[in-house]
């Protein structure tokens, strides 16, 4: 059975529009509850976290109703980062964890992500089974077996305490001025608290959510706001999280930005030197810069590439027994500490490197010179695959031929938005720009032709 509802990171869409409606959330909750509660017993638990979007109230309530209708007991965590849901699912011995968030997207989008009892995101196979249940008649619990719901008032505090344990024992952040941009999202209280409790002088921004300002001109998708604050405050480092705090961009004291590839290079080298990097291997995606691969090779380390999506990075890490992976976008997964990308804990590892080496952020944030890379997004009509057809295949083939031996071209459809992402890498920047433009122009021409009828 092919999946119709789930994408690369749960179910996504525009709030109050299929599939992000209260009705669908209720049925999705009931289907997930039926998938996990197969024995008729009433001891099953599910934890639900959310970010700060206005639509989270609606979806949280609907999911709770659907889950309770199949006998699941619901523990409501309130606004917490996505990685906190993975952590608390396992810590609280829950059968299922759910995060309501559209990550780095604008407030009008939302999503529902599922975690299994081990704290890792559900597999494609499990999500396919939930879809199959959803499409049929969902068996409800008997009246006496309807689930209960309760709020967990200290959920954020539990995550804060855990996050601090990942920072080296006996070390503090005393003497460091840290700008933390919370993107008006899920970590708007947790992230500043962790940094302050570890001794930093904290300058918080993006910490006043109103339901509609999440990721709006701030956070990891707009790190220039954090960079400006770092320079204005004379800070030692800036940390820009996204709306659900599972990704991070680091800004050094000069206002320069380090993406996920640079962080992965730093951590891989340090961990290898300390004997902590499992099998000398780092896992990342096809989007990671060729410069990262060259850096690892120069240090006798290996890069294992996967398809795009942090869940696929984690799956490959678990299959291979590797403990470090991530994405260029800022998802950093350290299975010694986390079950999914965690922007705050990744930032703490960078801060630990600063404290332990005495080096400035600028000395640590650029491990390699990136190969020039260009990414452009093409927004298409939802439900349409603009890459179908012999004409587009010919355009792509010609573009790939132009880069043969000089670079690489990657074209893929987003799993969370109606976008085609066109990325090229090449030392010859003019050629790279021309190749990307040829594909985008062809996509635009096809869209115009289809609109004309």
DSSP designation for 372: P
Contact, 260 vs 310, CB < 8 A? no
Nearest by Cα to 261 from 122, 102, 85, 425: 425
The catalytically annotated residue of 55, 69, 101, 103 is 103
Token digits of residue 55: 């639509």
Residue in this structure with the two tokens 């006798």, named with its chain if needed: 300
> Is-catalytic flag, 2?
no
Name the 3-class secondary structure at 70.
coil
Distance CA 158, CA 221 (A): 27
Other Cβ atoms within 10 Å of 17 Cβ, number: 12
Quickly list DSSP for 184-218: TSTTTTHHHHHHHHTT-EEEEES----SS-TTSS-
Contact, 112 vs 97, CB < 8 A? no
Name the 3-class secondary structure at 403.
helix
Distance CA 295, CA 279 (A): 17
Other Cβ atoms within 10 Å of 325 Cβ, number: 30
Q: Which residues are catalytic?
A: 103
């Amino acid at each position: 059975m092919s999946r119709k509802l789930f994408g690369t990171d749960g179910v996504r869409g525009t709030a109050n529009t299929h599939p992000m409606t209260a009705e669908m959330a209720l049925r999705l909750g009931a289907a997930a509850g039926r998938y996990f509660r197969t024995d008729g017993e009433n001891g099953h638990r599910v934890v639900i976290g959310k970010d700060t979007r206005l639509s989270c109230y609606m979806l949280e309530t609907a999911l709770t109703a659907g889950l309770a209708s199949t006998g699941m007991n619901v523990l409501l965590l309130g606004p917490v980062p996505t990685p906190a849901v993975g952590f608390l699912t396992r810590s609280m011995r829950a059968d299922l964890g759910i995060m309501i968030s559209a990550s780095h997207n604008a407030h009008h989008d939302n999503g529902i992500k599922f975690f299994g009892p081990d704290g890792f995101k559900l597999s494609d196979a499990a999500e396919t089974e939930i879809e199959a249940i959803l499409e049929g008649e969902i068996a409800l619990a008997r009246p006496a077996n309807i689930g209960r719901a309760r709020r967990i008032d200290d959920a954020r505090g539990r995550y804060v305490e855990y996050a601090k344990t990942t920072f080296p024992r006996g070390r503090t952040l005393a003497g460091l001025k840290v700008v933390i941009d919370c993107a008006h999202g899920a970590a708007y209280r947790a992230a500043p608290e962790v940094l302050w409790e570890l001794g930093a002088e904290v300058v918080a921004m993006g910490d006043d959510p109103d339901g509609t300002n999440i990721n709006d001109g701030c956070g990891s998708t707009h790190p220039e706001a954090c960079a400006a604050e770092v320079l204005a405050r004379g800070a030692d480092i800036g940390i820009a999280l996204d709306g659900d705090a599972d990704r991070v961009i680091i800004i050094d004291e000069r206002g320069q930005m380090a993406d996920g590839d640079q962080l992965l290079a730093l951590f891989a080298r340090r961990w290898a030197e300390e004997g902590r990097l499992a099998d000398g291997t780092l896992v990342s995606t096809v989007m990671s810069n060729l410069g990262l691969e060259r850096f690892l090779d120069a240090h006798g380390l290996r890069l294992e590439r996967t398809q795009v999506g942090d869940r696929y990075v984690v799956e490959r890490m678990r299959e291979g027994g590797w403990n470090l992976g991530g994405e260029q976008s800022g998802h950093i997964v350290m299975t010694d500490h986390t079950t999914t990308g965690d922007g705050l804990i990744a930032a703490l590892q960078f801060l630990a490197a600063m404290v332990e080496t005495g080096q400035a952020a600028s000395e640590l944030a650029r491990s390699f010179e990136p190969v020039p890379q260009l990414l452009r997004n093409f927004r298409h009509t939802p439900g349409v695959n603009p890459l179908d057809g012999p004409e587009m295949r010919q355009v792509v083939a010609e573009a790939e031929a132009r880069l043969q031996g000089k670079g690489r071209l990657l074209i893929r459809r987003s799993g969370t938005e109606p976008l085609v992402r066109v990325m090229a890498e090449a030392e010859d920047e003019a050629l790279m720009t021309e190749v990307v433009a040829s594909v985008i122009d062809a996509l635009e021409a096809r869209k115009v032709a289809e609109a004309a009828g």
